[in-house]
Structure 1
Amino acid sequence: MTSQPIDYEKHFLVETSWEICNQLGGIYTVIRSKLPANIEAWGKNYCLLGPLVNKGLNAEFEDIAERESTLGRTVAALENMGIEVRYGTWLVSGRPKTVLLNPDHNIGKLQHIKKQLWEDHQIPIGTDDSLYDISLQWCDLVDTFFTLFSKHEKRTILFHGHEWMVCPALLNTTGAHSNVKTIFTTHATRLGRVLAVNHKNFYDMMYEVDDQELAKQFGIPSIHQLERQGANKTDCFTTVSQITGLECEALLGKLPDQITPNGLNIERFQDPHRIQIRHEKYKKQIENFVIGHFFNATPFDLNKTLFLFTSGRYEYENKGFDIIVKALKKLNEKLIQEKVDVTVVMFFITNAPVKSFNPAVLHSKALLEEVKNTCKSIEGEIAAQLLVNAASSKDDFKLPDLNQFVSDYWRLRFRRSLQSWKTDEWPMIVTHLLQDDHSDAILKGLREEQLFNSPIDKVKVVFHPEFISPTNPLFGLEYSQFVRGCHMGVFPSYYEPWGYTPLECIARGVPTITSDLSGFGSYTENINANSQETGVYVLKRKDKTEAQSVEDLAKMLLQFSKTNYNYRAIMRNTLEEFSRTFDWHKLRIHYDEAYAKAVKK
């Protein structure tokens, strides 16, 4: 049995992030999903520290009145200094104690803070963006918090900060207090993310660039220098994957001291023995959309249809949307050539600037509802008369001609509603009116590959340029329910420091395609050489041309398209078991090892 790297009773962990009680991106998921495992390990020796900026905070926060504990006395001292602070319980799984500091307290000190950062750490004076300024104001308060807390708490304090927004406080605190050790985790370098968007050969060039000069060109010199200093000066530097570690070495000048892969609170997703039932339930709701969207023009057999999807931030090349589009064309050709009796519906789910839902899509849905209501009325009329007919029969026990039980009114109503709904036009690709559909990257790609939802296409495409929510009139599903209803998630990212979307798929028993350029994909390869057998397909993109990646992705999609119902059902159960590998109760040890390294430094 592996020994515990850190003694939880002899240390106090303060996990700090701009995204505590303030959801902006993936860091929120990391911290929140890790809470049950952290609370189980650290108990009362743990708290969160974040910004007081969420206007809807009261719905998920309960204040604590006590001011006797070391944490309580620190909060009282902050209050006595006139700083607006909230101390309480974040009402999420684990119920962690949380301290939130209002950065507006330091509006008047901003220029002084910038000057001090330049003098102490050579951070360029500037305004990279609005978040940069407000995070500096907040970090000055975070620095004050640790100065006070280190006087009240005699045990070793572990100041664990996530992302560049915490770096000013990390730099000021490192070495300033004998009982405070600092840990910095970057989940993706800011410069790396910008470069990956702007350069297709990012991984080839990252060791050759002048990172300081490029940071200036992209308008982020201060943020980049904060990250670089944070990586090199804190007591322990970590990142989420080996591939991001190489990025850190190239752009920040430091290999991480520890790799800390991301996990989930898997128990929240597990649903033993009901995984197939839930898949079928939510698949039916997706089928309802598909019927309304496609069947008025090009109906197909739903029993021989697979629902695939991709989702995430709208970064056309970074997220692999570009090669998905090209692979779909090849898949379409292969399905037709090989006469594979299956239809694939591919959903692109991302956020793009939109005007509104496409009225034609909503109109088609409304007309289908009219057809459904008419069918229900006819069903009721037939049932009532069939019962009378059956009860009245003597020797004839055959099922009569049901048409005789439908009145002329409902016959006419049925024909009219069906004629109103049916059309000769091909089904639309995008469900909304985009702000600029002419230059939209996904639509341009689909046009280039001539994927138009034609009657002969075996691959159908739906571009939904908003994230799925239960208020959505097209699906009426939570995003998590939509995922469960699909057959596969496709995420062949080019730049993805970790990648929660494929991990969330396998946690729900949904097979997924990831890439070896994503943190999740490379980690999965390292722990399971035969990951495809568990339902995780890792596309090789490292050292491959785009054409090779497209061809390999098309082959993966074709292979999956040929699987049968029973095989996919077994795979869903296998995936659910495999997903436990990524439970925070197992992965937390990597952070514990980082804390131990910080203490020993």
Structure 2
Amino acid sequence: MQVPLPTPEAISPDALLVEVAWEVCNQVGGIYTVIRSKVPATVLGWDDRYCLIGPYFTQQAQGEFEALDDYAFNQLPADDPFAAAVRQMRAEGYEVCYGHWLVTGKPRVVLINPYQVYDRLGQIKADLWNHHGIPTPDNDDLLHQVEAFGHQVKHFLHLLTNAVVPPKRVIAHFHEWMTGVAIPDLRRDQVPVHIVFTTHATLLGRYLAMNDPNFYDHLMQVNWAAEAVHFNIETAVRIERAAAHGSHVFTTVSELTVRECIYLLDRIPDAVLPNGLNIERFVALHEFQNLHQLYKSKIHEFVMAHFFQSYSFDLDNTLYLFTSGRYEYHNKGFDLTLEALARLNYRLQQSGLEGQVVMFFITKRPFHSINPQVLQSRAILDEVQETCEAIERQVGERLFYAAAASTDHRLPDLDALVDDYWKLRYRRTLQSWKTTNLPPVITHNLVDDANDDILNFLRRANLVNNRHDRVKIVYHPDFVSPTSPLFGMEYGQFVRGCHLGIFPSYYEPWGYTPLECVARGVPAITSDLSGFGDYVMETVPDHEAKGIYVVKRQERSFDESAEELTEMLWNFVQLNRRERIMQRNNVESSAELYDWKNLRVHYDRAYALALERQ
């Protein structure tokens, strides 16, 4: 029997919760998914005692934010402390928007324009230096936005605490260094707010991991100040450190990042806050299996357009694997994935097993355009389909008439039922489509093709979609979206259509991509150097039976990890259809473990701890 989780009302019935993040109504990074997906569960517990604060950027906000008009704003209760603080800021001449985020739960949101205090930037920067030893260069607009925003957030929270009538108290939860700039001044000015600060990944840790293949071995010897200067991120790192030390409760997202915080920020986190998702549950198991079939058929269409102009293979005996995420070749484990795929390709060629594997790399890289050859192939295949459907209609009508009028029971010559026009069009369309060229491994023309790590590995390994290759590669250096002429579907739909996600990261403070697979009933591979993988190993017994595989990378050589990943892939491709369906059922049934409704309790406990500290 599951023990009921404590609710925020039981922990802190007299508290207001303000969550501050750069990604509120502003999709610029992974924290956006954390905040947005957590909103429904947070609203469920905190209701009208909850409000978010973010920066106001017109273009980003217009599709996600619904501002209250003057009439609706004036109808708000006089004792609404959030509205009272907004009124006061507006009376002082600030541009402050108050309304709702257009996501499930429709939480209250305050958006503040960073640019409106740019005339005070000189003083803001001088105060950061004089009071907290944080220098700011003159030519970094992101830092200017962050510091201007933080200055205004501090003022808003000061007004909010003035508007709150005791015994009510205010908890302010700041995410990442970009909002943490407000924390040191809040403490210096003794604003009566209980501060929680979460670093999802230390800024310096991310830079070091990208540039040091032995990052974890060298972590204890890092000179943070020298490295921050070396990577030209001194201001951001000093803001992050000041926020970590100024908060009443300092948190991070996984046990892995606890080590980073200790050695790079010099503070042991008070709590670990694992991240979740809103898990979409279905009444019947067959429903998500049907969705898998539906979206797999759309991937089939892409694969036919991409490969069948050169050669064909049995789509019913083809597995779709993918990886996705920010383009960090080493950190995201793209290097390990490619090595394992090359080894898997060799094993399949030697084994005599039937079937193909198509591997998709979905990431974001600068490109000029979609490869015209890829685009043209898709367009001609669409024309082939239209021609076939026209012939199908014509044959169907004439066959029906012939059957009704026939005096014998033999099938008529179907070729004679097709007009010469359609025969000619069918032949010419296929002739213009078929080619002897190999299918390209990349769908777009990159800005710097010659120095792309993925492409260079594929060239060295000769993994370039040869007919005899059993592992085919599709490198798609752009996000999957419904507006894409190649896929024409949402990323989540694409995930559902695949058979396995591969994310063996070397550096991943949490890792949403495997979690997104699990939420959609798709098996996934992660690593013990990702926060999610570490969490799974600690909390989910027999996780492989539930479709979550964890590659060991801690204290393992690259070759050892590559061989383990190859073995996982080898075992997976040998599963039969029935076994894969059973595995997807197991994945779907375990997904609720990662629902925010269950994981929100970690946040609520951090808030309760903050209220205990002055």
TM-score, reference length from structure 1: 0.96
What 5-or-longer segments of structure 2 have no aligned partner? none
The whole-number CA distance in structure 1 between the counterparts of 2:243 and 2:139 is: 17
The whole-number CA distance in structure 2 between the counterparts of 1:378 and 1:532 is: 48
Offset at residue 483 of structure 1 (A): 0.9
Q: Which amino acid aligns with 2:118?
A: I
The whole-number CA distance in structure 2 between the counterparts of 1:281 and 1:30 is: 28
Greater CA drift, 398-407 or 452-461:
398-407
Q: What is aligned with 2:92?
A: 81
The one-character-per-residue Cα deviations of 1:314-369 (angstroms, maximum 9, x if unpaired) are: 11111111111111110001111111211000011111111111111112122222
Cα gap change, 1:475 to 1:178, in 2 (>3 Å):
closer
Where do residues 168-247 of structure 1 align in structure 2 (5 Å cutoff)?
A: 168-174=181-187, 176-177=189-190, 179-247=192-260
Does the CA contact (< 8 Å) of 2:196 and 2:610 recur in 1? yes
Q: What is aligned with 1:4?
A: 6
Q: How many residue pairs get matched? A: 600
Does the CA contact (< 8 Å) of 2:25 and 2:60 recur in 1? no
Cα gap change, 1:444 to 1:186, in 2 (>3 Å):
same
The whole-number CA distance in structure 2 between the counterparts of 1:57 and 1:5 is: 31
Offset at residue 121 of structure 1 (A): 1.9
Offset at residue 172 of structure 1 (A): 1.6
Q: Say yes or no: does 1:463 pair with 2:467.
A: no
Q: What is aligned with 1:256?
A: 269
Q: 1:144 aligns with which of 155, 169, 172?
A: 155
The one-character-per-residue Cα deviations of 1:91-111 (angstroms, maximum 9, x if unpaired) are: 211111111122122212212
Where do residues 289-438 of structure 1 align in structure 2 (5 Å cutoff)?
A: 289-394=302-407, 396-438=408-450
Q: Which amino acid aligns with 2:86?
A: V
Cα gap change, 1:241 to 1:57, in 2 (>3 Å):
same
Q: Say yes or no: does 1:599 pair with 2:601.
A: no
The one-character-per-residue Cα deviations of 1:78-127 (angstroms, maximum 9, x if unpaired) are: 11111111112222111111111221222122121122122222223435
Q: 2:54 aligns with which of 30, 50, 54?
A: 50
Cα gap change, 1:565 to 1:400, in 2 (>3 Å):
same
Q: 1:569 aligns with which of 572, 577, 581?
A: 581
The whole-number CA distance in structure 1 between the counterparts of 2:62 and 2:345 is: 51
Q: Secondary structure at the match of 2:320?
A: strand
Q: Say yes or no: does 1:15 pair with 2:15.
A: no
Q: 1:109 aligns with which of 120, 130, 134?
A: 120
Greater CA drift, 109-118 or 199-208:
109-118
Greater CA drift, 570-579 or 425-434:
570-579
Q: Which amino acid aligns with 2:18?
A: V
Cα gap change, 1:360 to 1:178, in 2 (>3 Å):
closer
Q: Which amino acid aligns with 1:86?
A: C
Offset at residue 581 of structure 1 (A): 0.7
Does the CA contact (< 8 Å) of 1:378 and 1:406 recur in 2? yes
Does the CA contact (< 8 Å) of 1:344 and 1:459 recur in 2? yes
Cα gap change, 1:256 to 1:271, in 2 (>3 Å):
farther
Does the CA contact (< 8 Å) of 1:275 and 1:572 recur in 2? no
The one-character-per-residue Cα deviations of 1:14-70 (angstroms, maximum 9, x if unpaired) are: 011111111111111111111111111111111111112233534431313337222
The CA RMSD measured in Å over matched residues stands at: 1.8
Does the CA contact (< 8 Å) of 2:26 and 2:60 recur in 1? no
The whole-number CA distance in structure 1 between the counterparts of 2:139 and 2:205 is: 16
Cα gap change, 1:270 to 1:591, in 2 (>3 Å):
farther
Cα gap change, 1:121 to 1:56, in 2 (>3 Å):
closer
Cα gap change, 1:572 to 1:127, in 2 (>3 Å):
farther
The whole-number CA distance in structure 1 between the counterparts of 2:494 and 2:516 is: 12
Does the CA contact (< 8 Å) of 2:357 and 2:472 recur in 1? yes
Where do residues 97-136 of structure 1 align in structure 2 (5 Å cutoff)?
A: 97-126=108-137, 129-136=140-147
The whole-number CA distance in structure 1 between the counterparts of 2:392 and 2:223 is: 72
Offset at residue 272 of structure 1 (A): 5.0
The whole-number CA distance in structure 1 between the counterparts of 2:316 and 2:611 is: 58
The whole-number CA distance in structure 1 between the counterparts of 2:425 and 2:97 is: 62
Q: 1:96 aligns with which of 70, 86, 107?
A: 107
Q: 2:487 aligns with which of 475, 479, 483?
A: 475
Q: What is aligned with 1:527?
A: 539
The one-character-per-residue Cα deviations of 1:441-486 (angstroms, maximum 9, x if unpaired) are: 1100111111010111110001111111101111111111111111
Q: Say yes or no: does 1:589 pair with 2:601.
A: yes
Q: Secondary structure at the match of 1:49?
A: strand
What 5-or-longer segments of structure 1 have no aligned partner? none
The whole-number CA distance in structure 2 between the counterparts of 1:432 and 1:270 is: 40
Q: What is aligned with 1:30?
A: 34
Q: Say yes or no: does 1:62 pair with 2:67.
A: yes
Offset at residue 527 of structure 1 (A): 0.8
The one-character-per-residue Cα deviations of 1:498-554 (angstroms, maximum 9, x if unpaired) are: 111111111011111111111111111111132111111111111111111111111
The whole-number CA distance in structure 2 between the counterparts of 1:67 and 1:139 is: 28
Q: Say yes or no: does 1:71 pair with 2:82.
A: yes
Cα gap change, 1:83 to 1:408, in 2 (>3 Å):
closer
The whole-number CA distance in structure 1 between the counterparts of 2:477 and 2:282 is: 26
Q: Secondary structure at the match of 1:346?
A: strand
Does the CA contact (< 8 Å) of 2:153 and 2:182 recur in 1? yes
TM-score, reference length from structure 2: 0.94
